[in-house]
């Protein structure tokens, strides 16, 4: 997510100038700070990760997976639960020359396939690499969008408190150019933990919805708990 958003933000900065809208109490900035503080306290986390992708204008089938994350060293493990059921992927920062390891069910289940996380094969049904699934990358991207809103005309950022989603209430950070064609990012933040619950964004013909469900953090996960 971080790379594609960064490139798009550079484009938006080149076409938008002047001042931006700011919420009266400037709480968007406050929520970003609180998210950073909450994320800094996380050593590990696990959840159900649900994604829905539109790539080059084409809606791809949604997917649900088990996501496990370790902060040191940064480790991301996913196991597909519906589409491609049984497929497992593992990324460990500083290992395997930056590649992700993939296991597929069936006759090849004992083989470890190495993939460039930004390569064509790994990104076939994605617009963001697996390496951007951690909260740190999400928060960094939101902060980049917010910084654009401070300097770009017709590019707004606002905080909508107590926004209903999936039967709960969340703080919604809404950033965008005023129309879907101009691009937008919506981040739903848990009111108690100040951690991301759902990310929605669109840039040109690409869009994504990522949801972190049933989040558990700091449960003393270790590499031994990643069944790879």
The rounded mean pLDDT for the chain is 88
Residue 183 has pLDDT above 80, yes or no: yes
φ, ψ of residue 190 to 5 degrees: the values are -60, 130
pLDDT band at 178 (very low <50, low <70, confident <90, very high): low
Distance CA 155, CA 193 (A): 28
The helix/strand count (H/E) of the chain reads as 3, 12
pLDDT of residue 6: 52
Domain count, the chain: 1
CATH classification at residue 201: 2.50.20.10
In sequence order, the 6+-apart residues with CB closer than 8 A to the CB of 164 are 170
3-state secondary structure of 191: coil
pLDDT band at 25 (very low <50, low <70, confident <90, very high): low
Per residue in 105-159, pLDDT (tens digit) is 877 777 899 999 999 999 999 999 999 999 999 999 999 999 999 998 888 999 9
pLDDT of residue 16: 41
The residue range of the domain holding 127 is 2-225
pLDDT of residue 153: 82
pLDDT of residue 20: 33
Give the E-state strand segments of 60-195 in sequence order: 63-70, 75-80, 88-92, 100-103, 113-115, 156-165, 168-176, 184-190
């Amino acid at each position: 997510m971080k790379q594609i958003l960064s490139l798009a933000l550079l484009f938006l900065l080149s076409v938008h100038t002047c001042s931006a809208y700011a919420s009266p109490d400037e709480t968007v900035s406050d929520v970003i700070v609180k998210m950073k503080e909450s994320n800094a306290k996380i050593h590990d986390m696990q959840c159900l990760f649900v994604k829905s992708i539109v790539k080059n204008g084409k809606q791809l089938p949604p997917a649900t997976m088990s996501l496990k994350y370790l902060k040191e060293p940064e480790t991301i493990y996913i196991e597909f639960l519906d589409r491609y059921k049984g497929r497992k992927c593992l990324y460990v920062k500083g290992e395997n020359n930056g590649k992700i390891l993939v296991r597929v069910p069936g006759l090849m289940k004992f083989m470890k396939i190495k993939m460039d996380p930004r390569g064509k094969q790994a990104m076939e049904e994605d617009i963001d690499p697996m390496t951007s699934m951690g909260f740190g990358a999400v928060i960094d991207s939101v902060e980049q969008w917010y910084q654009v809103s401070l300097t770009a005309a017709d590019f707004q950022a606002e905080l909508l408190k107590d926004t209903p989603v999936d039967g709960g209430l969340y703080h919604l950070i809404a950033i965008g150019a005023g129309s879907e064609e101009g691009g937008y990012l919506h981040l739903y933040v848990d009111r108690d933990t100040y951690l991301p619950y759902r990310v929605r964004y669109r840039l040109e013909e690409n869009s994504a919805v990522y949801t972190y469900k049933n989040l558990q953090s700091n449960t003393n996960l270790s590499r031994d708990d990643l069944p790879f």
